[in-house]
Structure 1
Amino acid sequence: MSILETVVFFLIIWWPIFFISLPFGFKAITNDEKNKNYAKSAPAQPKILKKFFITTLVSLIITIIIWSLSFFEIISFKELII
């Protein structure tokens, strides 16, 4: 895999993993006077940065595994395409 292919693979893997991680740890906002202007479905503490870093770490591990399989010619993606 070239560097460009590796970066594209990382980005393609990153987005679905990020969207999968969003619902984990979800707690809705309570309807008290302080939070009356928010939607009932809004998260109380979204923790986006934590999910961002976990997603990046998981995507990086998957990318390294796939790159290693390609580099050591255990799997050849060019043969899969043809």
Structure 2
Amino acid sequence: MGLFSGFVVFVIIWWTVIFMVLPFGVRPEVDNVQPGHQVGAPSNPRLLRKVLITTAISIVLWVIINILITENVFSFRDWAATWTSSQQ
């Protein structure tokens, strides 16, 4: 996997993981709701902590995917060749 494609894969993994991590530990502020604010808005979203957790999980997943691709455990080229030959 090249540098650019590795970066693209990491960004895709990171964005997928951030949407899974964002709801963790969200507690709405029910006591002091001001006019114009959403009732379910979190009182303390702890975004920096969630970004760090997301980055750590994404690095682990990226390393696993990188090993699978570079060691030819899973090859998109072989899959595409098999699929196109079966279509003819």
Q: Answer yes or no: is 1:48 the counterpart of 2:47.
A: yes
| 4+ residue runs over 2 A deviation | 35-39, 77-82
Within a 5 Å distance, the mapping from 1:1-80 to structure 2 comes to 1-32=1-32, 35-37=33-35, 38-80=37-79
Following the alignment from structure 2 to structure 1, what is the Cα–Cα distance between the partners of residues 57 and 17? 8
Gaps of 5+ in 2: 82-88
Larger radius of gyration: 2
Using the size of structure 1 for normalisation, the TM-score is 0.84
Q: How far apart are residue 69 of structure 1 and its match? A: 1.3
Q: How far apart are residue 50 of structure 1 and its match? A: 0.5
Q: CA RMSD in A?
A: 1.5
Q: Contact 1:14 / 1:55 at 8 angstroms: preserved in 2?
A: yes
Paired residue total = 80
Give the percent of matched residue pairs that are identical in Structure 1 and Structure 2. Answer: 32
Using the size of structure 2 for normalisation, the TM-score is 0.79
